[in-house]
Structure 1
């Protein structure tokens, strides 16, 4: 057993999640750091999913009647346990997903933050009082728990995205069934153990949080179950196009967070020192494996050469290696398929007339790992490969003359998640944020597209799916609305002046 797998095993035992090597081995957990096996698990069957949904539904029937502030106590316990185990969980994220240490810890902090938000929200699940045309009547709306919420998460945020959904769903009165990525099962097992302990401490019904492990069969069983009114799925656009019609066929709801092809416009007035820092983190953080990672830089012709030179200098000093080393800024891609896709995209960009400025090749940083050198490619136009999301640190540079041209390039992709502009011109900034500017769900000024806070609603438009998670009023997706009219008079007037009898 490698040192990495031993460390993962010890972490799981400390959080009360058991031994990851007790399964039949049909589902292997591997670390992208060195390719070592860190767990051999038994995947669930479709029958197991049915049982998990049934247990969650029974728990929901009790949980929905618990006052929301009391439900918030479970999420408070969850947040406290996450604080207690932050270092261990952060290390496990690094081991299993390949994130550098600060990003692994940051992901756990994001879980803590959403718990804090959800606890406060548990006392603010408010409806409206609405003016009525009928005298002696009152009209209002209420929000009620929805039911069992399925959460299907991706490898790149193996725990945070689950927490965005689970923390809100739980205070809303729902039960949660979680299917994590088959590439990151151990972090899910650890978080599930902690969530179960939080439920026990808060006196929540047994079964209010459920975990199912496996690949496509498990996900399909969860998506097709009519007892699941909401499926929240994070992943590729291809996956979303399969999930959405299956859920719609049974008239369920989908909350989709899909691909991004995020761009930054760099205007003539941009502060280039700030711009370079913003671009490098957004493009290279998490080895380019965020849905909000920066894929395209659209830079004004007047400063394109200077910007490319600065970016190249920054890229060529980036330390690549094990994410467990404090000095590392670029860890591994999740697997061999991701590395192959990266190299293939670079080659296609070159074939399309692009110039590879730096990077684009495999790197033997750690034996057995999947490492690449982040690439910058200047493109003469926005070709098909540029319009296609490559989940890796591959940054395309395009040039523009007018802001209208830049916005057209920016919006000229199928995805619509996150976006940014670097400018000191208020007119350019406000135009970018206006209805004729960015068509994305997130639009930033003088920061990159990556690194959203939990206070704002997170999600995108077009082929990104249209869902919203985390802050603002995203909680409404996890509840059902009821409009109520109360007649406290002795008369029975009808709306719209209708007379009957």
Structure 2
């Protein structure tokens, strides 16, 4: 949140338009950008401060006002963020009525989505949620920026540095209890190294520190609810029914740390093919392992899911790395080399393709989503250049 605020302050001096050469003598074409007006931010539970801030900070820098509907599961963090922004505005004498917080259930969010005064709705959540939000905003000719589900994969090539790969895979797959949009959910490993890598991963999983996330050293905290835990268990059972083999974990609920919290063991499941449960996003620490023989097969497996958020490849082969990043490789909005799928820096635009929604937030030129362009023609001559040499004199 702090970093994106710093970024937005600098961005406020870089909302560049263009000067375009005109075919008409004595004329100049220019592109200018203007605020959209009201931006509605609908955020999810898993990053209750970050997702709000990278939408709100950029929107405010672009001259918009913001109405925020956070997840009903995170009301305290939402109120804290709202008060911090209000206090900051008061301290520097900035307007304090540019941001409003709406706490409530689904009905509150629906009113925000349907209100024609809201120029842009930027919504983070599941693909199911996006299927509802997108058409409703489009029906009133509003704009939407959707950040939806991810079913992120990493390809591990024969030349990969396995020490590096194990660290990147475990953190991306098990960290935050698998509750990131960019969590690693599918591992596509070359057959020659699959057994070696899987053995190292299962050994690492067996030692994962699970517990209170406020304790230093904890990697895996609780799931958001017991409902999420039930969903995780159901996905594991479906994967087993479809031929998958659980290698470690299993979704067993851990009650020693906090009996009422939904702590669970992260799971690795080895599968022979991408069945329907593998092609779905389960928001929990489940990692499906597949094998491949050729690079082309790996890319085909990687791209054969409806989602397209984050991806990575572990390889020391430059040709493979470049092919993975090319238009013939990963079809995701984020493609990494020798690093896991999770995490993102604010300087790069964040978002994905296909059922992930196609939106981009935060860095690069994502600010354009929060503004409207206008093309300006300026005639500084004493003549009016008309098409087909029309003359009214």
Q: State if a TM-score over 0.5 links the two structures.
A: yes
Which structure has greater helix proportion?
1
Q: Aligned equivalents of 1:340 and 1:266: distance in 2?
A: 30
8 Å CA contact 1:264, 1:448 repeated in 2: yes
Quote the offset at 1:180 in angstroms: 0.5
Residue of structure 1 equivalent to 2:326? 434
User: Partner of 2:187: helix, strand, or coil?
Assistant: strand
User: Partner of 1:322: helix, strand, or coil?
Assistant: coil
Residue of structure 2 equivalent to 1:238? 128
8 Å CA contact 1:339, 1:370 repeated in 2: yes
Quote the offset at 1:202 in angstroms: 2.9
Q: Write out per-residue CA displacement over residues 50-96 of structure 1, whole angstroms, 9 at most, x where no aligned residue.
A: xxxxxxxxxxxxxxxxxxxxxxxxxxxxxxxxxxxxxxxxxxxxxxx
Question: 1:239-258 maps to which residues of 2 (within 5 A)?
Answer: 239-258=129-148
Residue of structure 2 equivalent to 1:499? 390
Which of 195, 212, 224 is residue 334 of structure 1 equivalent to?
224
Unaligned runs of 5+ in 2: none
Q: Aligned equivalents of 1:500 and 1:159: distance in 2?
A: 61
- TM-score (ref. length: structure 2): 0.98
Q: Aligned equivalents of 1:222 and 1:354: distance in 2?
A: 42
Quote the offset at 1:129 in angstroms: 0.3
Which of 197, 210, 217 is residue 307 of structure 1 equivalent to?
197
Residue of structure 2 equivalent to 1:444? 336
User: Partner of 1:114: helix, strand, or coil?
Assistant: helix
Which of 161, 170, 191 is residue 51 of structure 2 equivalent to?
161
Residue of structure 2 equivalent to 1:7? none
Residue of structure 2 equivalent to 1:183? 73
* Mapped pair 1:147 → 2:41: no
Q: Which has the higher contact order (CA 8 A, sep 6+)?
A: 2
- TM-score (ref. length: structure 1): 0.77
Which of 385, 396, 403 is residue 288 of structure 2 equivalent to?
396
8 Å CA contact 1:420, 1:444 repeated in 2: yes
8 Å CA contact 1:156, 1:290 repeated in 2: yes
Q: Aligned equivalents of 1:201 and 1:124: distance in 2?
A: 25
Quote the offset at 1:362 in angstroms: 1.7
User: Partner of 1:385: helix, strand, or coil?
Assistant: coil
Question: 1:400-419 maps to which residues of 2 (within 5 A)?
Answer: 400-419=292-311
Residue of structure 1 equivalent to 2:117? 227
* Mapped pair 1:461 → 2:353: yes
Q: Which runs of 4+ in 1 moved over 6 A?
A: none
Q: Aligned equivalents of 2:190 and 2:145: distance in 1?
A: 37
* Mapped pair 1:477 → 2:369: yes
User: Partner of 1:157: helix, strand, or coil?
Assistant: coil
Residue of structure 2 equivalent to 1:23? none
Q: Aligned equivalents of 1:499 and 1:117: distance in 2?
A: 50
Residue of structure 2 equivalent to 1:425? 317
Unaligned runs of 5+ in 1: 1-110
User: Partner of 1:187: helix, strand, or coil?
Assistant: helix
Quote the offset at 1:206 in angstroms: 3.2
Quote the offset at 1:201 in angstroms: 2.2
User: Partner of 2:278: helix, strand, or coil?
Assistant: helix
8 Å CA contact 1:134, 1:494 repeated in 2: no
* Root mean square deviation, CA, Å: 0.9
Residue of structure 1 equivalent to 2:272? 380
Q: Aligned equivalents of 1:379 and 1:475: distance in 2?
A: 41
Q: Aligned equivalents of 2:62 and 2:268: distance in 1?
A: 45
User: Partner of 1:274: helix, strand, or coil?
Assistant: helix
Q: Aligned equivalents of 1:461 and 1:494: distance in 2?
A: 43
Q: Write out per-residue CA displacement over residues 95-145 of structure 1, whole angstroms, 9 at most, x where no aligned residue.
A: xxxxxxxxxxxxxxxx11111111111111110000100010111011111
Q: Write out per-residue CA displacement over residues 283-341 of structure 1, whole angstroms, 9 at most, x where no aligned residue.
A: 01110000000000000000000000000011000011111222321100000110000
